[in-house]
Structure 1
Amino acid sequence: MDVDAFLLTHRGTWDRLDQLIKKRRSLTGAEVDELVELYQRASTHLSMLRSASSDSLVTGRLSSLVARARSAVTGAHAPMTSTFIRFWTVSFPVVAYRTWRWWLATGVAFLVVVAVLAFWVAGNPEVQYAVGTPSEIDELVNHDVESYYSEHPAAAFALHVWLNNSWLAARCIAFAVLLGLPIPFLLLQNAANLGLIAGLMFPAGKGGLLLGLLIPHGLLELTAVFLAGAVGMRLGWSVIAPGDRPRGQVLAEQGRGVVAVAVGLVGVLLVSGLLEALVTPSPLPTFVRIAIGVIAELVFLSYVAYFGRRAAKAGETGDIEDAPDVIPTG
C-alpha cells in the first residue's frame, strides 16, 4: 500500500469526522447520520492500514480517531461500577503480576543493601559515633523510634504516612521519564535510612522492638514501594529495549499500565498507612501485630497472583480498552 497516497485520499474524511466528534453535543440529525457513516469508513480504513502498513504513527492516530468516534456514535460509557470493578480485578493486578520479576528483584536488592549496611554500622563503633553522640543515639534507640508511631493522633498520622508513601511511589513512577535512572538512587536512600536504624537498634538489644514496629505495616508498605520502583524502571527500560514492536507502541501501552499501578498503589498505601497508625502503636501483643502485617501482605500477594494471572491468561496487559496504538502527539 502507498501510505502517502492513502493518506492524501482519505485525509478529508478523517478531518471531517474529527470536526463532527468535537461538536457531537450539538449535531443536527443529518450530521449524526454523517458521523455514523464516516465512523464506518474510518473503521474500514483502519483495518486496511493495520493489515498493509507498518507505519505505527499513522495507525495509532487513526486508531485514536476511530475510538473517539465509536464513543460519540454509541454515546455509551461503561458504568462507574463496571469501570471500578475492572480496574481492581484486571488493570491493576495484571500489571503488578506481569512485572513480578522486576519488583521481586527490586525488593531483594533493597533488603540486601539494608542488611549489609546494618551489619556494617552494628560492627563499627566509629561509624556509630559519626552518626551522633552516645546520648543522641541512646535517645534515638530508647525513645525516638518507638514514640514516632504514637506521638500524633492516629487519623493525622495515617494521613501523613499515606501522603509521604504515596509521594515516594509517585516519584518512582514519574522518574520513568528519565529512563528510570534516578529510581535506584531513591530506593538506595530509603534502604540506607532503614539499614542505619537497624544497625543502631540491634546492638542495643532493640532489634525485636524494631521488627515489631516495622513488620505490621512495613511488609505491605515496602512491597508497594518495590512495585512502584519496578514499574518505573521497566517503563524506562522499554524505551531502551522495546523488543520487536515499535517503541512508541510499547511505551504507550506500558505507560498507561503504569498509570493503573500508580492509582492502585494509592489504595494499597492507604491500607499500610492505616496499619501504621492503628496497629503498629497499639497495645496488642507483638506477635499479634506482626501476624496482622503478615496477613495483610499475604492477602495482597494472593490478590495479585489470582486476579493478575487470570487477566494475563485472558491476554490483558493493563492497558485501557480501545487504546490508541501509540502515545498521542499534537
Structure 2
Amino acid sequence: MDLDAYVLAHHAEWERLEALTKKRRLDGRESDELVEKYQRVATHLSVIRTATPDATVITYLSLLLSRARNRAGRARGSTWHGVRTFALERFPAALYRLRWWWLGTMAANVVVTAVMMWWLLDHPNVEQTLLSPRDVDQLVNHDVSGYYSQYAATHFAAEVWTNNVWVTALCLALGVLGLPVIYLLFQNIANLAVIGSIMIRHGHGAQFWGLILPHGMLELTAVFVAGGVGLRLFWSWVEPGDLTRAQSFALEGRTAGTVALGLVGVLAVSGLIEAFVTPSPLPTWGRIAIGVLAEATFLAYVFVLGRQAFLRGHTGDIDPALLGDRVVAQA
C-alpha cells in the first residue's frame, strides 16, 4: 500500500476529527460525528499498523484518537446527550435485539403459571399440605389486601422497588450459570400460582386479579426481561457463533449492564403504580386500565423506538468510542 496516497486520501477526516476534539462545546450532531470519525480513524490506524507501519503517522493517529476518546467522554458527561442516547437508543435497542429471549421467557412463565393454577384448583387437598385452615383464612381475608396498605405509599414504593431490583439483579448476575435464573423465575411464579389458586377457590378471585394486574403486568415483564437477558448471557458462552467465547460473553455482558440500568426505571414505574394505584379507591377496571396502559407503553417503547434504533445499528452495547482503539478496529 502507498502510505503517502493513503494519508492524502484520509487526511481531511483526521483534520476534521482534530477540529472536533478542540471545540469547547459539541451539540448532539457534532457528538455523533465525533464518534463516527473516531471509529473511522481507528480503522485507518489499524490498516497502517498492519500494512505499512510508520512511526510518525502511528504516533499522530494514536494521540489524536486518545484526545478524541477523552473529548467524547467529556461531551457525554457535560450534556444530556448520553442520557438521551441511552433512553432513546441503547436501552430500547437492547430490548428489541433480545426480544425473542425475554418474550419466550414471558410466554413460558405465563403457561407454567396457568397450568400450576389449574392443577392446584383441581387438587384442593394440596392446599391443606401447604397451609393450615387458619393460615388460609388469614391469607384470604387479611394478608393479600392488607399487604398494599400496611405502609405509607412512599415507603411502600421504595420497599417494592428495592425488592424488584434485587430479583432482576439476581437474574442478570446469575445468568452466566443459566440454571439459577430458571430457579428464581420458578420460585416467583410458584408463589403467584399458589396464592392465586387459594384466593380463587375461596371466592376472592376478582379481588386477587384486581390487586395484582395493575402493577403486576409491568413488574413481571421487567422480571421476565431480566430472566431472558440472563439466559442469553448464559447462551453467549455456550454457543458464541462467529465470535470467540470471550468476545461473545463480553458483548452480551455489556448489553446486560445496559438492560439492568434501564430496568431500574421500569421497576420504579411499577413500584409507583403498586404503591399509589393498586390500593387506591379507584374502581377495579380503572386500576387495571392504568396497568394495561403502562404495559402497552413499555411494549411500544420496545417495538417502535427499539426497532428504529436497532435498524440504525444500535445493539445495546456501549459506545464503541469508549471501548478503545483495538476493540473498534477489530469490530
Short-chain TM bin: 0.7 to 0.9
Q: Which amino acid aligns with 1:103?
A: W
Of residues 239, 242, 245, the one that matches 1:244 is: 242
State how far apart, in whole Å, the 1-side matches of 2:181 and 2:290 are: 30
* 1:224-263 alignment runs, 5 A limit: 224-263=222-261
- Tell me if structure 2 keeps the 8 A contact 1:198–1:207: yes
What SS does the corresponding residue of 1:202 show, helix, strand or coil? helix
Q: How many residue pairs end up in the alignment?
A: 277
Within-5 A mapping of 1:195-234? 195-234=193-232
- Name the counterpart of 1:318: 316
Q: How big is the shift at 1:176?
A: 2.1
Deviations 1:206-246 (A, max 9, x none): 11111100110000000100101111110110111111122
| Aligned partner of 2:302 among 297, 301, 304 | 304
Structure 1 residue 47, shift from structure 2 partner: 3.3
Matches of 1:92 and 1:219 in 2, distance apart? 20
TM score, norm. by length of structure 2: 0.78
TM-score, normalising length: structure 1: 0.78
Give the equivalent residue in structure 2 for 1:181: 179
The CA deviation at 1:291 is 0.3
Partner of 1:46: 46
Equivalent-residue separation in structure 2 for 1:229 and 1:76 (angstroms): 34
Task: Please tell me whether residue 270 in structure 1 is matched to residue 250 in structure 2.
Answer: no
Structure 1 stretches of 5 or more lacking a match?
1-39, 53-63
Residue 154 of structure 2 corresponds to which residue in structure 1? Answer: 155
After TM superposition, list the pairs within 5 Å mapping 1:22-33 onto structure 2.
none
Tell whether the 8 Å contact from 1:113 to 1:195 is kept in structure 2 after alignment. Answer: no
Q: 2 CA distance for matches of 1:248 and 1:65?
A: 28
Given residue 235 of structure 1, which amino acid in structure 2 is its aligned partner?
Answer: L
CA RMSD of aligned residues (A): 2.6
Structure 1 residue aligned with 2:168: 169
Report whether the alignment pairs 1:101 with 2:100: yes
For residues 75 and 133 of structure 1, what CA distance do their matches in structure 2 show?
Answer: 60
Residues 46-125 of structure 1: pairs in structure 2 closer than 5 A: 46-48=46-48, 68=66, 70-72=68-70, 76-78=74-76, 79-125=78-124
Distance, in Å, in 2 between the alignment partners of 1:114 and 1:209 is 18
Q: Which amino acid aligns with 1:219?
A: M
Distance change (3 Å), C-alpha of 1:200 and 1:81: same
Q: How much does 1:306 deviate?
A: 1.2
Partner of 1:145: 144
Q: Cα 1:229–1:47, aligned 2, differ >3 Å: closer, same or farther?
A: farther
Q: Is the CA contact (8 Å cut-off) linking 1:71 and 1:77 kept in structure 2?
A: no
Give the percent of matched residue pairs that are identical in Structure 1 and Structure 2.
47
Partner of 1:136: 135
